[in-house]
């Protein structure tokens, strides 16, 4: 069994992004800018945004966080997004999810300029991903593909089981795997007999938010396990969706939690924002 070390790879990607920022600044005078909208006081969201801010500082980005109260109006958030769409110093716009229930999340995500949609959630970018065209890809599944590439793992022809069908992880993960010529099954909360599907898989990608969802008897010998889940256990530890202690002995490769997919998500956000700034620099010539 070999661990897929996302922490180490994320540092390499950060270094590459940092070098790209220097080249872009020297060539065009542009410094990549990332703006984040943070609504409410969700502790996990605040911690995640803080990590993003530190990562931006490390690579030399300009970054700004718009913190808003829980009872902020839909109109006020929309006006902030429109302002950022028109701000040439902002190359990436990120709306931190989840949002309060009174906010129409879909409308906000559709309002973000697709050329600044570094989270890859706008229908324009979703469509380009689905059809295999270049665009912005959601950071977590994109990070998974980078991690596989780093370890020389080719998904072509592999039976891949994606557990979880969210717009943020499951669906884009499946699209990336299809684009790379894998055979893909998507399982979700209504799937009958999950074990039947996972046992047939050469590779399992799980992001369902359920502790120990994938157990030892659900995994075939030599399978590759990508644990995208992150949960807080009763004892305070961060754990994934896979029963790591028992499943890892059967795997050829597995991602740890923490230190696997998590660091790759922020690394891909940086990479996407640099890409947006590079495109903007070309278009401004």
Cα–chain-centroid distance for residue 121? 10
Among candidate residues 195, 194, 170, 196, the one with its CA nearest the CA of residue 184:
170
Is residue 192 domain-resident? Answer: yes
Domain stop point among 99, 115, 131: 115
Confirm whether 202 is a catalytic residue. Answer: no
pLDDT along the chain (285 residues), means of 10: 96 97 95 96 86 95 95 97 97 95 96 98 97 97 98 98 96 98 97 96 96 96 96 89 95 96 96 97 77
Is residue 88 domain-resident? Answer: yes
- Classified as helix, coil or strand, 229 is coil
Do residue 173 and residue 217 come from a single domain?
A: yes
Measured CA to CA, the distance from residue 18 to residue 274 in angstroms comes to: 9
For residue 233, what are the contacts with CB-CB under 8 A and spacing of at least 6? 211, 239
Confirm whether 23 is a catalytic residue. Answer: no
Catalytic member of 96, 116, 171, 243: 96
Do residue 102 and residue 171 come from a single domain?
A: no
Domain stop point among 115, 149, 174: 115
Domain stop point among 50, 80, 115: 115
Both tokens assigned to 84: 């950022």
Do residue 154 and residue 96 come from a single domain?
A: no
Is residue 23 domain-resident? Answer: no
Is residue 274 domain-resident? Answer: no
pLDDT at 151: 97
Do residue 257 and residue 181 come from a single domain?
A: yes
Query: Following CA atoms 244, 163, 153, 228 in sequence, which dihedral angle do they give, to the nearest 10 degrees?
Result: -60
* Residue 193 lies in domain: 139-262
Do residue 155 and residue 252 come from a single domain?
A: yes
Asked whether the beta carbons of 240 and 212 are under 8 A apart, the reply is no
Is residue 275 domain-resident? Answer: no
Give the 3-state secondary structure percentages of the chain, helix then strand then coil, rounded to 5: 45, 15, 40
Asked whether the beta carbons of 118 and 282 are under 8 A apart, the reply is no
Is residue 283 domain-resident? Answer: no
Do residue 148 and residue 182 come from a single domain?
A: yes
Do residue 148 and residue 225 come from a single domain?
A: yes
Confirm whether 119 is a catalytic residue. Answer: yes
Among candidate residues 177, 190, 237, the one with its CA nearest the CA of residue 212:
237
Do residue 152 and residue 111 come from a single domain?
A: no
Counting the structural domains of the chain, the total is 2
pLDDT at 42: 81
In this structure, what DSSP letter does residue 190 have?
A: T
Is residue 102 domain-resident? Answer: yes
Is residue 210 domain-resident? Answer: yes
Do residue 156 and residue 245 come from a single domain?
A: yes
pLDDT at 232: 87
Catalytic member of 113, 116, 117, 119: 119
Do residue 105 and residue 194 come from a single domain?
A: no
pLDDT at 221: 97
Alpha-helix residue ranges (DSSP H) falling in 131-180: 139-150, 170-179
pLDDT at 285: 64
pLDDT at 59: 97
Do residue 97 and residue 156 come from a single domain?
A: no
Measured CA to CA, the distance from residue 261 to residue 7 in angstroms comes to: 8
Do residue 255 and residue 168 come from a single domain?
A: yes
CATH number of 146's domain: 3.40.50.720
């Amino acid at each position: 069994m070999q661990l897929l070390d996302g922490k180490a790879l994320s540092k390499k990607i950060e270094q590459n992004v940092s070098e790209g920022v220097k080249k872009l600044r020297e060539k065009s005078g542009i410094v990549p800018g990332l703006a984040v909208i943070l609504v409410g006081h969700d502790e996990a969201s605040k911690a995640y945004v803080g990590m993003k801010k530190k990562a931006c500082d490390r690579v030399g980005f300009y970054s700004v966080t718009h913190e808003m109260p829980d009872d902020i109006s839909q109109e006020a958030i929309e006006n902030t997004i429109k302002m950022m769409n028109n701000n040439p110093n902002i190359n990436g716009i990120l709306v931190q999810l989840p949002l309060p229930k009174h906010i129409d999340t879909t409308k906000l995500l559709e309002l973000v300029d697709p050329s600044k949609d570094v989270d890859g959630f706008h229908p324009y970018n979703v469509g380009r991903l689905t059809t295999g065209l270049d665009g912005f890809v959601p950071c977590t599944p994109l990070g998974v593909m980078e991690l596989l590439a780093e370890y020389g793992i080719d998904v072509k022809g592999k039976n891949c089981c994606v557990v979880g069908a969210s717009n943020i992880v499951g669906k884009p993960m499946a699209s990336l795997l299809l684009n790379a010529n894998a055979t893909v099954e998507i399982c979700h909360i209504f799937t009958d007999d999950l074990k039947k599907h996972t046992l047939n898989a050469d590779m399992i990608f799980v992001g369902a938010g359920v502790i120990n969802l994938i157990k030892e008897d659900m995994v075939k010998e030599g399978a590759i396990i990508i644990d995208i889940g992150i949960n807080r256990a009763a004892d305070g530890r961060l754990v994934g969706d896979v029963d790591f202690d028992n499943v890892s002995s059967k795997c050829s490769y597995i991602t740890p939690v923490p230190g696997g997919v998590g660091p790759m998500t922020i690394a891909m956000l940086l990479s996407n924002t640099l890409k947006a700034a590079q495109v903007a620099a070309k278009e401004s010539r």
